[in-house]
Amino acid sequence: MVAGAANTDGGVLISMSAFKEVQVSEDEKSIKAGAGLNWYELYSAIEPHGLIVLGGRLRTIGVSGLTLGGGISYFTSKYGFAMGNALAYEVVTASGAIMTATATSDPELFWVLKGGGNNFGIVTKFTFATYRAPKVSTGFQLHTEEVVDEYITAVANFASYHKEIDTGAGGIFVGVYVKVRTVQIGKVEKPSVFENFTALPSAIVSSYAAGREIFGTHSMLIDEASIRRMWKMFKAATEKMAHIHEFYSAFTFQPISRSAVRVAKTNGVGNTWGLDDRKPSLWWIIFTHWANASDEEEDIAWQNNIREEVHAANMEAGVGLGFIYMNDCADDQDPFSGLPQDKTLRG
């Protein structure tokens, strides 16, 4: 077992690093990708064709894990989650059989692989839908804590944006410093949809040293007052950890638009998570970093406690949601517990 990794205590750990195949279809409408690729390798292989697939926002993230857990990309609001753009899976089952799961061939296995994780077989190859690579405008901002009030208003306004927009936002962090990463389809120097962020004074700071880190997540409806309460709870809790060497913690808000959920209805099997597309939501993460192994027990307990305290307060306020995004959950969380019963008991 590899501590902190997505593996099973006492189980078999299988390296997929040799599965590096990338094959572009003749009509360039799909690609086949080996499960051992990371997203940088896959993007680099299809870039000469002018193509993109929906995938990770960090270069070292694996294609397999992100896709099986759902997968948020910079284009989620327009094209949905990475899992929804998987057209086929080549899978080795527990019996040793090699199967190809599609919407028409083994649809039950196809259904469960869309957001169900790596529990149902070893996926060796994915077939993904492709899109023509658009021109994009990007931005990266760092702000001091002085602008947190304005920032929270900007987060709430952006996340509840009423139009159907061709926009995906990368992680929006609130911590010792506020960080914003933005992406807008189209060649626009300062996209208007992000104007509440770009109007804030920006400051560049040095990055923190490498060390130990964990994160956990919950989800919520968009409510500015609740986001402000969450920040106050989080800030008060972090101040109690000043004695920990190189302690750093941050909130991440990931806006999930109605269109991102609605696109799932066209993926061949429907909305496998049972998400409500009538209202946008925020999937939030608390990320914690520290330097020394001797602080691990205290830091993990702190992280888990503040995460659940914030979630409990959201539930009491009527804005908390049960959904837990698998790819960002902590090892003490059960992502299946937040799914509708008909989704967890299917088959």
Residues 274 and 292 both lie in one domain? yes
Residue 175: the pLDDT is: 44
| Domain boundary pick from 132, 163, 191 | 132
Say if residue 220's pLDDT is above 70.
yes
CATH number of the domain within which 269 lies:
3.40.462.20
Same domain for 94 and 215, yes or no, is no
Domain closes at, from 99, 132, 165: 132
271 and 163 share one domain: yes
Q: Is 0.75 topped by the overall pTM?
A: yes
Phi and psi based region of residue 34 (left: phi greater than 0; alpha: psi -120 to 50; beta: remaining): beta
pLDDT at 208 over 80: no
Q: Are residue 180 and residue 161 in the same domain, yes or no?
A: yes
Evaluate whether residue 8 is within a structural domain.
Answer: no
Residue 30 φ then ψ, to 5°: -155, 165
**Same domain membership, residue 225 and residue 186:** yes
Print the domain residue range for 266. 136-344
Q: What is the pLDDT of residues 27-65, one digit of tens each?
A: 999 999 999 999 999 999 999 999 999 999 888 999 999
**43 exposure class (CB count in 10 Å sphere: 0-12, 13-18, 19+):** middle
For residues 162 and 197, state if they share a domain.
Answer: yes
62 and 143 part of one domain: no
Nearest CA to 174 out of 141, 148, 195, 199 is that of: 148
Last residue of a domain, one of 69, 103, 132: 132
CATH code at position 113: 3.30.465.10
Q: Is residue 10 part of a domain?
A: no
Residue among 40, 46, 88, 80 at smallest CA distance from 60: 40
Q: How far apart are CA 242 and CA 239, in angstroms?
A: 6
Answer yes or no: do 255 and 291 share one domain. yes
Q: What is the pLDDT of residue 155?
A: 82
Same domain, yes or no, for 125 and 143?
no
Separation CA 261–CA 275 (nearest Å): 7
Shared-domain flag, residues 214 and 276: yes
Rounded distance, CA 136 to CA 246, Å? Answer: 36
- 114-135 pLDDT, tens digit per residue, is 988 888 899 999 999 999 988 7
Where is pLDDT greater, at 285 or 10? 285
Q: Are 168 and 77 in contact (CB under 8 A)?
A: yes
| Same domain assignment for residues 97 and 159 | no
Average confidence (pLDDT) over 232-240: 91
Q: Is 146 helix (H, G, I), strand (E, B) or coil?
A: helix
Phi-psi region of 234 (alpha: psi -120 to 50; beta: other; left: phi over 0): alpha
Same domain, 127 and 145: no
Is residue 90 included in any domain, yes or no?
yes
Number of structural domains found in the chain:
2
Please give the Cα distance from 327 to 107 (Å, whole number).
23
At 191 the pLDDT is: 52
3-state secondary structure at position 254? strand
Q: What is the DSSP letter of 277?
A: T
The dihedral through the CA atoms of 214, 216, 222, 225 has a sign that is negative
